[in-house]
Structure 1
Amino acid sequence: MVNKKNIAKKTGFYILVILLVIFVAYPFVWMLSISLRYDTDAFEPGIIPKRPTLRQFGELLGIVKSIREEMSQEEQQMMELIKDLPPEQQEAFLAEIGIQRKKETFPFIRFFKNSLFLAGVSALISLIIAIFGAYSFSRLEYKGRGVIQRGVLVVYLFGGTILAVPLYQIFVKLGLFGSGTRSYLALIIIYIVQTLPVSLYMLGNYFRTIPYSIEEAAIIDGCSRLQAIFKVVVPLSLPAIVTVYIYAFMIGWNEFLFASIFVRSYPEFYTLPIGLNELFYSTHAIWGKMMAASVVTALPVVIMFTMMERYLTGGLTVGGVKE
C-alpha cells in the first residue's frame, strides 16, 4: 500500500512538472514556429511549419531584401531623376504619378547594437560600484553604515512612472538632453541607479559568507586591502558577481519607459524595446518578422546564461578554510 501511494505521488508530481513546463515553454515554441514561416502561413494550425524558411530572419538582419521594399527599374530611374528636388516636391511628384516612396528597411541591427551598448556598459559600471560598496557594507565598520545599507533600497519604493518626471527635469537642467549622445549618457545613469541597490544587497550578503580569515591570510602575506578584494574576494564571489551582472544587463536590455522618454526624438539612437514597438505599428508589422525579432532579442540573455552557467553553481568557498 505504501509503495502504491509513493508511486501515485511521484506520478502526480511528474505530471504537474510536465504540465508546468509545457505551459511555460509553449509561447516560446509558438514564437519560434511563426518566425520560421512565410507571411501567408503565419496562422496555419500546428507547431511545426509546413514550409519552414529563414527568410524572416534574413529580412530582419538585412541579408535578404524585403519584397515590400523592392522597386522596379523604372521606379529606381525616376527616384534618381528627382533626388535633387526638395523632399516636399519629391513627395508631390511621386504622388501625382502614382509611385509610393518605399520606406527604409527596419534597422534591427542598429537597435540591437544600441541596446547591447547601453545594457552592457550600465551593467558593468553598476557591478564595479557594487563590488566596492558591498565590500564596505560587509567588512568595514563606520558610522551610519546600517542606515546607508538599508537606505539604498528606498529607490524601489517608487515606481518608474513616479520618477520619470523628476528625473527628466533633473537631466534637462544638467544638460543631459537635447541630443542622442547626451540622452544615452542619461539612460546609462538611470540604469545604474535602477540596478545598483539590489546589486549592493546581493553582493553584500554573499561577501559575508566568505570567511574573513582568508582575507587576513592574504593581508599577512603582504596584500593590501585592494589586492585582497581582487585576488581573494572577487574570485570567490564569481557566482554572485555573474548573477548580479546578468540581472543588471537584463534591466537595461528590456527597459522601455525611460528609453521612450529620452531617445524618442532620435530614431538613430532607438533601443530594441523602442524599435520593436515601432515595428509593431509600422508597415513592416508582419507577424513572421515580429516573431523573428523577438527570437533574436532573447538570444543575448540566453547566450549569457549558457556561457556563464558554470559560475552560477555557487559553492566555491565550501571547504576553503576550517574555522
Structure 2
Amino acid sequence: MTMLGKQTIKGRIGFALAIFSIVSFCLLPFAQILSTSLKHQFDWGNPSLIPQVVNLDAYKELLGLTERQTVEIPPAIKKILENPKLSQGKKDAILAKYTDNSDVFPFGRFMLNSFAVSAGAALVSLIFAVMGAYSISRLRFSGQVVVQRSVLFVYMVGGVLLMVPLYQMAVNVGLASSMWGSVFCLFAIYIVQTLPVALYMLGNYFRTIPFALEEAAMMDGYSRKEAIIKVVLPLSIPMLATVFMYCFIIGWNEYLFASVFLKQFKEFYTLPLALQELFVSKNAIWDRIMAASMLTLAPIIVCFLFAMRHMDGGKTDGGVKG
C-alpha cells in the first residue's frame, strides 16, 4: 500500500509538471511579445523577460495618446507665409507639411476596420446559423440528410484554391474596383467561411434541448417562432456565445483574402494586413511591432472571457420531468 501511495504521488507530481511544462511552452511566445513591447531600445538584447525600465511609449503612440511633433519652419518658408496675397488654405497646407506624422501608425483605424468586418460577419453568420441549424435539427424536409452531411464540404477546399476564382468573380461583376465593393466581398467570404461550422455546432446543440420544452410553450399559446425566441435561444446562450467567438476570431485573424481584396485600399486595411505592412516599413521598431501585436490579441482575449461567462452547461436539467 505504501508503494502504491508513493507511485500515486509521483504520478500526480509528474502529471502536474507535464501540464506546467506544456502551458509554459505555449505561453512563452506571448510573454516574450509582452516583454519586448515594454522594453526600451537599449534593453532589447536583454534575454530577461523583465524589462529594466518599463516603456509605455509604443502603446501610447499606437493608441493616439502622444502629441504630434512639429519641426522648425525655415525662415524662407516663414517669409512666404507672411505674404498677404497667399490664401489661408494654402498657408495651412504649407504648415501641415511641417507637422511630423511620418512615423505614426494609424492602429486605431485598422483595429476599427477589423472589428467592423469581423463582428459584422460573425453576427450575420450567427443569425443564418440559428435559422439553418434549427431547420436541420428540428424540421423534416426532402434532402435533409444531404444538406446535413455536406455542410462542412467547404472546408475540404483550401482558401488558396478559392482565392483566385473568387477574386476573378469580384472583378467580373465590378466589385473589386471599389473599396466598398472589395469590403463587401471580404464580408461575404468571412460569412461563407464560418457558416458551415456554425451550422454544425448549433445543430448538434439544438438536438440536446428537449423538444418537449417547445411543445409545452406551444401548448401555452406560443407560436413556433415565439418558442424559438423565448425557449430555445435563451437555453442556447452558451453555444451562441461560443459560435460568435469562433466566427469573430476567424475574421479577426484572416490574412489571405484581406491581402488580395484590400491590397490597393490602404485606408481599409485590417490588422493582420496592417501589421505585415508595419513589419516591412520604415516604422518597423520592435517595441512598436510587439505592442501592436499585444493590442491585436486583446479583443480575442476579451471575446474569449466573455464567452467563458456563458459556457456553463446543465441549463435544461430538470426542465422536463420523466
Same fold (TM over 0.5): yes
Q: Deviations over 1:170-218 (max 9, x none)?
A: 2222332211111111111000000000000000000000000000001
Task: List aligned pairs for 1:1-323, cutoff 5 A.
Answer: 1-65=3-67, 70-74=69-73, 78=77, 103=102, 105-323=104-322
C-alpha deviation, 1:84, in angstroms: 6.0
Specify the code of the residue in structure 2 equivalent to 1:265: Q
Alignment-mate amino acid for residue 61 of structure 1: L
SS at match of 1:74: coil
Unaligned runs of 5+ residues in structure 2 are 82-88
The two structures have a TM-score, normalised by structure 2, of 0.90
Q: Is the 8 A contact 2:245 2:307 kept in 1?
A: no
The aligned amino acid for 1:140 is L
For the residues of structure 1 that align with 2:79 and 2:281, how far apart are their CA atoms? 26
In structure 1, distance between residues paired with 2:114 and 2:76: 37
Contact between 1:115 and 1:253, CA under 8 Å: does it hold in 2? yes
> How far has the Cα of 1:314 moved from its partner?
2.3
Displacement of 1:131: 0.1
- Letter paired with 2:42: T
- Structure 1 pair 2–104 and aligned structure 2 pair: CA distance change class (3 A): closer
Q: Is the 8 A contact 1:130 1:196 kept in 2?
A: yes
Report the TM-score, using the length of structure 1 for normalisation: 0.90
Which amino acid in structure 2 is aligned with residue 174 of structure 1?
V
3-state DSSP of counterpart to 1:63 = coil
Q: Deviation of residue 71 (structure 1)? A: 4.6
Partner residue, 2:85? none
Note the aligned Cα RMSD (angstroms). Answer: 2.4
Secondary structure (helix, strand or coil) at the match of 1:141 reads: coil
Is the CA contact (8 Å cut-off) linking 1:187 and 1:262 kept in structure 2?
Answer: yes
Deviations 1:279-323 (A, max 9, x none): 000111011001000100000111112223221122212222123
Sequence identity (%):
47
Distance 1:14 1:192 in 2: 41
1:40-96 CA distance string (max 9 Å, x none): 322222111001021110111221258xxx4531369859969969xxxx9xxx9xx
Matched-pair contact (CA < 8 Å) for 2:117–2:251: yes
The 1:146–1:313 alpha-carbon spacing in structure 2 relative to 1, beyond 3 Å, is: same
- Taking a change above 3 Å as real, the CA distance of residues 76 and 150 of structure 1, as seen in their structure-2 partners, is farther
In the alignment, the residues of structure 2 paired with residue 274 and residue 183 of structure 1 have an alpha-carbon distance, to the nearest angstrom, of 15
Which whole-Å CA distance do the structure 1 matches of 2:101 and 2:217 have between them? 66
Label 1:313 to 1:50 Cα distance change in 2 as closer, same or farther (>3 A): same
Number of residue pairs aligned between Structure 1 and Structure 2: 309
